[in-house]
């Protein structure tokens, strides 16, 4: 280690740190990480996607973390072989850079805390945080400026709520939950009874429960249930701009990418992934391990383990056939018109011959 606190390792040390096997010079020094095209001679990179293999012959990286099955080219960088190169690269990132350090400490004098709220001694409240009546916040949690914690909310240990996060009343967060700036948890669900032409609001008396190790991106919204709970399962991760309807239940260790929209009373199993801008109608069930492609529209139940794409969403193999035909539609249309014209002409000829025989 250098004395200026900037970490550095030789490749042998780095390979040992991530449980990899080095093919190259042991004493080469690494001081950081970068992508294959941008890496310098003292930085390490990784190859986890075959489409980036073309950069292996031109990268300046000190070494590249690759999979166990990678076959080294005759000319190229030193490599560190690992079972899971992407995760190994993650471990290197954590070792070199760690995670964001919070710049706040203690409880700001401008924070507003209801006398009935219960806070652990080491909770951090930045300026202009509001904690309402009967809220509970456990040890190690950090609330950034402008956070609002509504009445009867419960926040677990080591949570981080970034600026202007809003928790409506009764929201429950487990331990190690991270919610990024501008997200709103527990707002009223979109519930109305249309009567005599008017949309009459239905009281939303449920709540939201977010389980341990969930991360919610910026500007997401999670509606409270009309009755009962909207639940986000343990270990699930949201990107930004995601909307979850009232009474929905998202399983454990799911991944939801930007602009996903889930309508109310939908159930999604464990280990599912929903790509960007896909939408799911209400009252459907999605099984464990389902993968939904970008911009897909889910209108029916999906069995566990399926991959779907398209709007309406269909099995991936069928969707690929459909999309393969789309570019041919102008030619197919013209072909159909030509065939129709030929058929019309043939009918005229047949009719003419029939009339002659009479």
Please state, in angstroms and as integers, the Cα–Cα distance from residue 105 to each residue in 127, 184, 274, following that order: 10, 24, 37
Catalytic residue among 195, 207, 246, 283: 246
Name the strands in the sheet holding 285-286, side by side, starting at the edge strand that comes first in the sequence: 118-119, 136-137, 154-155, 172-173, 207-210, 229-232, 249-250, 267-268, 285-286
Helix (H) or strand (E) holding 332: helix 329-357
* Contact (CB, 8 A) for 237 and 252: no
Paired residues of 155 in beta bridges: 137, 173
- Evaluate whether 176 touches 140 at the Cβ level (below 8 Å): no
47 near 64, Cβ under 8 Å?
yes
Active site residue 199: no
Is the CB of residue 250 less than 8 Å from the CB of residue 266? no
Q: Which residues are catalytic?
A: 246
């Amino acid at each position: 280690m250098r004395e200026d606190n900037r970490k550095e390792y030789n490749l042998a040390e780095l390979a040992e740190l991530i449980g990899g096997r080095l093919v190259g010079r042991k004493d080469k020094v690494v001081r950081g990480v970068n992508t294959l095209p941008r890496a310098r001679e003292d930085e390490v990179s990784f190859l986890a996607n075959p489409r980036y293999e073309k950069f292996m012959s031109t990268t300046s990286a000190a070494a590249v973390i690759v999979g166990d099955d990678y076959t080294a080219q005759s000319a190229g960088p030193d490599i560190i072989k690992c079972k899971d190169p992407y995760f190994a690269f993650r471990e290197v990132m954590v070792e070199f850079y760690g995670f964001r350090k919070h710049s706040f400490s203690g409880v700001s004098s401008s924070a507003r805390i209801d006398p009935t709220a219960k806070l652990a001694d080491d909770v951090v409240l930045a300026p202009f945080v509001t904690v309402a009546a009967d809220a509970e916040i456990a040890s190690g949690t950090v609330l950034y400026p402008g956070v609002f914690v509504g009445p009867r909310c419960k926040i677990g240990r080591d949570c981080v709520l970034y600026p202007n996060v809003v928790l409506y009343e009764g929201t429950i967060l487990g331990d190690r939950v991270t919610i990024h700036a501008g997200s709103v948890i527990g707002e009223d669900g979109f519930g109305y009874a249309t009567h005599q032409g008017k949309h009459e609001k239905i009281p939303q008396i449920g709540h939201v429960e977010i389980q341990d190790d969930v991360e919610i991106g910026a500007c997401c919204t999670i509606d409270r249930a009309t009755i009962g709970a909207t639940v986000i399962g343990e270990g699930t991760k949201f990107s930004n701009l995601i909307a979850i309807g009232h009474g929905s239940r998202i399983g454990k260790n799911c991944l939801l990418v930007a602009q996903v929209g889930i309508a109310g009373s939908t159930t999604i199993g464990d280990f599912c992934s929903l790509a960007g801008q896909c939408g799911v109608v209400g009252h459907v069930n999605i099984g464990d391990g389902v993968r939904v492609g970008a911009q897909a529209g889910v209108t029916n139940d999906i069995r566990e383990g399926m991959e779907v794409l398209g709007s309406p969403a269909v099995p991936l193999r069928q969707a690929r056939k459909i999309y393969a035909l789309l570019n041919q539609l102008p030619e197919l249309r013209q072909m159909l018109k030509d065939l129709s014209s030929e058929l019309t002409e043939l009918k005229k000829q047949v009719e003419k011959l029939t009339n002659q025989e009479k």
